[in-house]
Amino acid sequence: MEDLSGFSMLELFRLEADTQTAVLSAGVLAIEKLEHSPAAIESLMRAAHSLKGAARIIGLEPAVRVAHAMEEVFVAAGKGLVTVQPEHADVLLAGSDFLASIARADDALAPDGPWGERADRLVTQLAAIRSGRMGQEPPMRSTPPPLIPQVPAETAPATAPPSPPHKALDHGDPVVRVSADSLSRLVGLAGESLVEARQLPALVAGLHSLRSMQGKLCNTVAALEEWHRGASLQDPAASTALLGILREQAGSVLAGLSQRCEEFASLAGRNEDLSGRLHHEVISSRMRPLAECIRGFPRLVRDVARSLGKQVRLEVRGEQTGVDRDILDKLESPLSHLIRNALDHGIESPDRRVAAGKPPVGTILLEARHRAGALMITITDDGEGIDIERLRAKTVANGLVAGPLADQLSEQELLEFLFLPGFSTKDVVTEISGRGVGLDAVHRMVKAVGGSVRVATQPGRQTVFTLQVPITMSVIRALLVDIGGEPYAFPLTRIDHILRCQHADIRSVEGRQYVDRGGVSIGLVLAPQILGLEPSASPPSADALSVVVISDHGQQFGVIVDAFLGERDLEVRPLDPRLGAVPDINSASLLENGDPVLIIDVEDLVRSIDTLLTGRRLKRVEYAPSPEQPSRRKRILVVDDSITVRELERQLLLSHGFAVEVAVDGMDGWNALREGQYDLVVSDVDMPRLDGIGFVSLIKADPERKDIPVVIVSYKDREEDRLRGLEAGANRYLTKASFHDETFLQTIVDLIGEPTD
């Protein structure tokens, strides 16, 4: 049974209001589409009746009156006395919103609260619907879901109506509520139990080895007996009897040991099966259907489409797909933003759709499914797609890339600009788009749970956003590999594929090695070199190389490992915070034998590979110039997480004669700065792991490096951003528009002089 003993009456009402208002909203949207089935009317009537009774118990009189008035409308509709029309939907949705709002209000029970007046107006309008007099008063329109707020994405409130309380996937099963902390501890214990149980097969193997040794002992005794039979002894009969007893005892031990081995093997199998089922059940208890996250999306599509003068319907497939609740809670905001993005940027107006030969009603399809241990969510709209050439022009206009370089970018490279902070293809700022909280917020949220997001488009036909996130964050399916004699794990969700590469298939271009797969050239790198490990004592097989192919934001690499060790389900354990940010590693786990295994951070690994291939090297030899060559080229470190901006800055500085090395974020830049000597640093502001402000602060707080000039180059041109950078210690603060003139290069020369001494 459901244990509700720890809830107050008001909390219980809020729980019921969550569930019943969701039923009301979904039913009213069905009525708006002229779906007047008796079952739909009946469900609406029951929901309103339940809310009326619950509100009466706690003395919430305004809610009682509104719920009763809504119930009267649905009762009359059920009897055929009134036909609920689509134009009535605003009032009915306003009633549902009122009940949801008052349930959550802190002043719901206050005698002088604002709820009575709102309730009076709603009751009047609902009575007009019931009596067929709708239209004598201006209708109270439903309040659309709040639009995108101008706050950081991490603190942005959810935009959809409140979700119902956590329940199991099968809502007909009994539910027991437990605290999140308790359930998390239970998950951890179940994972440890699974690890412990997996050590039993190793013990079984040890017992089998012992049995083998005992068998050899028996053979030795038999041989000794044969030797004694042929030997000249004083008392051969006694010796023979003694040896016979010894053999009998050894045989008994062997038989008993064999029996125990069989029993222990059976026990180990049952124990592992039990632990596996326990772990599965605990993980399942954390699962919730995706429907709980997207319950308010039909209402969101209706209200936003109406405000934009568009006709749009939402289709959902796979809404019962299970997701860990921690991940589900983080999905609502990015999915809501992508839905709004499709409504505003993708779907055309009815007139434009008809002119393009499309039906006037646009379609947004949200589809969820499990694939290879991950949750795949696609949001597809059949709108006008993304204008690639307009996007190319926007990147130039926003100062993100120079015109000649923009002309060389591929479609996929251009689409990646959509995820930059503050980037928008809209020229006009509206409440729905162009407010500075763009797809970068979606990208950050998805990355925060170890997922990825991609976009594809067909101009004039559709745009597809694909999100891939873990089903659960407590256990992952991973590929174990051997690197330098140690096990490492690659999450399967972040692996494109694996392959065995023959030496004859490898080709070299400009000193870099590649292998072709399906017409695509994949750059090869050695895993020990990327991770900073000593090469393996045993070189890779002369026949073939083991390659893990990974990618991130259009960059694809083949990581050469020593061997594949197979797939495993690993319990994820965070690294000790005292270690700080460990490059290329995001967590750890334990293998069946208790040995630790590090789990690779694929996104970070791709950045490290990019750094190795396009800029500085992991190992570098520093030397003083010889007397014959007193002059030297001045060295500049460029730090930016955008490969496009990073490459543009590198080329500009190289063309002017400077020696340039690059780093992919603040942490990587700090490590590079500690390893080498530089005359100047160019840094972005918004970067993962360590942002530009923190990076500059580290430089200026270091006695050995505080005098190195730092130039911040950022897309942010607000005065407060400029002041933050300068207060941190930056010598100059430029915007990326400075690439189009001589400002960028002139600033560098002003600070450190010409490229050579």
Domain made up of 615-752: CATH architecture: 3-Layer(aba) Sandwich (3.40)
Cβ-count burial 81-106 (b if 16+ within 10 Å, e if not)? ebebeeebbbbbbbbbbbbbbbbeee
Return the structure tokens found at 393: 């022009």
The partner residues of 483 in beta bridges, in order of sequence, read 486
Nearest CA-CA partner of 545 in 563, 570, 565, 531: 563
Q: Which of 163-167, 318-322, 328-332 has the lowest mean pLDDT?
A: 163-167
Nearest CA-CA partner of 327 in 476, 176, 192, 432: 476
Q: Give the C-alpha separation, 489 to 498, whole Å.
A: 13
Q: Looking at the predicted structure, is the pLDDT value of residue 330 above 60? A: yes
**Half-sphere CA count of 410, side-chain side, radius 13 A:** 6
Q: What is the mean pLDDT of residues 605-610?
A: 82
Q: Looking at the predicted structure, is the pLDDT value of residue 36 above 60? A: yes
Q: Which amino acid is at 22?
A: A
Question: Scanning the structure block, which residue is given the tokens 């709102």?
Answer: 118
Q: What is the mean pLDDT of residues 261-271?
A: 76
Terminal CA-to-CA distance of the chain, rounded, Å?
Answer: 81
Largest CA distance in the chain: 128
Using pLDDT thresholds of 50, 70 and 90, give the confidence band for residue 572: confident
Mean confidence (pLDDT) of the chain: 77
Q: Give the C-alpha separation, 262 to 268, whole Å.
A: 10
Q: Looking at the predicted structure, is the pLDDT value of residue 628 above 60? A: no
Question: Scanning the structure block, which residue is given the tokens 């991490």?
Answer: 154
Q: Give the C-alpha separation, 65 to 119, whole Å.
A: 7
CATH number of this structure's domain 475-613? 2.40.50.180
Angle at which helix 743-752 crosses helix 643-655, to 10 degrees, equals 60
Cβ-proximal residues to 108 (8 Å cutoff; 6+ apart), any chain:
10, 60, 63, 102, 115
Using pLDDT thresholds of 50, 70 and 90, give the confidence band for residue 231: low
Q: In what order do the strands lie in the sheet with 475-483?
A: 563-571, 475-483, 486-491, 596-600, 585-590
Q: What letter does residue 461 receive in the DSSP assignment?
A: T
The partner residues of 466 in beta bridges, in order of sequence, read 378, 454
Cβ-count burial 719-731 (b if 16+ within 10 Å, e if not)? eebbebbeebbbb
Q: Which of 25-29, 208-212, 307-311 has the lowest mean pLDDT?
A: 208-212
Q: Looking at the predicted structure, is the pLDDT value of residue 489 above 50? A: yes
Most confident of 118-122, 142-146, 417-421: 118-122
> Which pLDDT tens digit goes with each residue over 395-446?
888 777 777 777 877 888 788 888 877 676 666 545 555 433 468 778 878 8
117 and 38 Cβ atoms separated by less than 8 Å: no
> Which pLDDT tens digit goes with each residue over 48-81?
888 888 888 788 888 888 888 888 888 888 888 8
Host H or E run for residue 271: helix 236-285
Question: Scanning the structure block, which residue is given the tokens 């089998």?
Answer: 208
3 state SS for 8-38: CHHHHHHHHHHHHHHHHHHHHHHHHCCCCCH
Domain range 1-143, CATH class: mainly alpha
Cα 151 to its chain centre, rounded Å, is: 21
The partner residues of 470 in beta bridges, in order of sequence, read 374
At residue 138, the pLDDT reads: 44
Residue 625: φ, ψ to 5°: -65, 145
Q: Which of 136-145, 286-295, 369-378 has the lowest mean pLDDT?
A: 136-145
Neighbours of 502 (CB within 10 A): 11
Contacts of residues 103-107 at CB distance under 8 Å and 24 or more positions apart, as own/partner, are: 103/13, 103/14, 103/17, 103/18, 103/21, 103/63, 104/14, 104/17, 104/162
Q: Which of 217-231, 290-304, 411-425 has the lowest mean pLDDT?
A: 217-231
Q: Which of 42-56, 92-106, 138-152, 350-364 has the lowest mean pLDDT?
A: 138-152
**Half-sphere CA count of 727, side-chain side, radius 13 A:** 6
Q: Give the C-alpha separation, 70 to 98, whole Å.
A: 12
672 and 681 Cβ atoms separated by less than 8 Å: no
Cβ-proximal residues to 616 (8 Å cutoff; 6+ apart), any chain:
661, 662, 663, 672, 676
**Where are the domains positioned within the chain?**
1-143, 198-285, 475-613, 615-752
Neighbours of 610 (CB within 10 A): 21
Q: Which of 125-139, 159-173, 174-188 has the lowest mean pLDDT?
A: 159-173
2 and 18 Cβ atoms separated by less than 8 Å: no
At residue 178, the pLDDT reads: 58
Host H or E run for residue 324: strand 322-324
3-state SS assignment for residue 506? strand
Instruction: Return left, alpha or beta for 484; rule: phi > 0 is left, psi -120 to 50 is alpha, else beta.
Output: left
> Which pLDDT tens digit goes with each residue over 700-729?
888 888 889 999 988 777 777 788 888 888
CA angle centred on 69, ends 64 and 74, rounded to 5°: 125
Return the structure tokens found at 101: 């709002």
Using pLDDT thresholds of 50, 70 and 90, give the confidence band for residue 349: very high
Using pLDDT thresholds of 50, 70 and 90, give the confidence band for residue 230: low
Q: In the chain, what percentage of residues exceed pLDDT 70?
A: 79
Nearest CA-CA partner of 346 in 466, 462, 467, 465: 462
Burial class of 282 by CB neighbour count within 10 A (0 to 12, 13 to 18, 19+): buried
Cα 621 to its chain centre, rounded Å, is: 39
734 and 692 Cβ atoms separated by less than 8 Å: no
Q: Give the C-alpha separation, 665 to 684, whole Å.
A: 8
Stronger pLDDT, 141 or 438, i.e. the higher one? 438
74 and 45 Cβ atoms separated by less than 8 Å: yes
Q: Looking at the predicted structure, is the pLDDT value of residue 624 above 60? A: no
> Which pLDDT tens digit goes with each residue over 644-698?
778 788 888 888 889 998 888 888 888 888 878 899 999 988 887 788 888 998 8
Return the structure tokens found at 484: 């330098």
Q: Looking at the predicted structure, is the pLDDT value of residue 361 above 60? A: yes
Using pLDDT thresholds of 50, 70 and 90, give the confidence band for residue 167: very low
Return the structure tokens found at 545: 């190389």
